[in-house]
Amino acid sequence: MFGYAKLELGEVCSSISSGKSKERSKTGPYPVYGSTGIIARTNRASYDKTNILIARVGANAGYVHLASGSYDVSDNTLIADIKPENNLKYIFYILQNIALNRFAKGGGQPLITAGKIKQIEIKIPDQITQDKVVKILDEFEMICTDLNAGIPAEINVRNKQYEFYRDKLMTFKEKLK
């Protein structure tokens, strides 16, 4: 495929629906995801695959994150189930980048509807390009967020840079007499 296709998010997803979690506890084996992450635990998981979650109500409306493993989702969060022919992480990065909060309506309690989310147009390149973009962004994110990998790697690069320039600056040509 050359270039990309412009598709509505609803065409890229098998479904976009609201979570329905009613059962919550402090000690259940499965997490319950809310608008920005885990908000409780439960004894019953409703989902068992990686999905994109989108906060749909409140100040965090439009916040995008991933849920994987076995989990449940509260009713203030939308679940975007991406079709297998698309790279889920590519769609995730696209949604993070387009600032979904701008689609929220309402003053006191902003709201994003599944209907509105389904209509958002996104650019979808071929699978190979999606995979390349995800690989690059995953590596960059790992470097930026993993203190154990990112900072030591950066320090190592800077040390080598320092040594190179130190050696250049401290190497003098012999004067001819």
- Tell me the pLDDT tens digit for each residue of 132-165: 999 999 888 877 777 666 677 778 888 888 888 7
DSSP, collapsed to helix, strand or coil, labels residue 17 as strand
CATH 3.90.320.10 assigned to domain 4-125? The reply is no
pLDDT tens for the chain, 177 residues: list them. Answer: 468 899 999 999 999 999 987 778 888 999 999 988 999 999 999 999 999 999 999 889 999 999 999 999 999 999 999 999 999 999 999 999 998 988 888 878 889 999 999 999 999 999 999 999 999 998 888 777 776 666 777 788 888 888 887 777 767 666 666
Q: pTM, whole model, 2 decimals?
A: 0.78
CATH 3.90.220.20 maps onto the chain at: 4-125
In whole angstroms, give the CA distance from residue 32 to residue 23: 9
HSE, side-chain direction, 13 A CA sphere, residue 2? 0
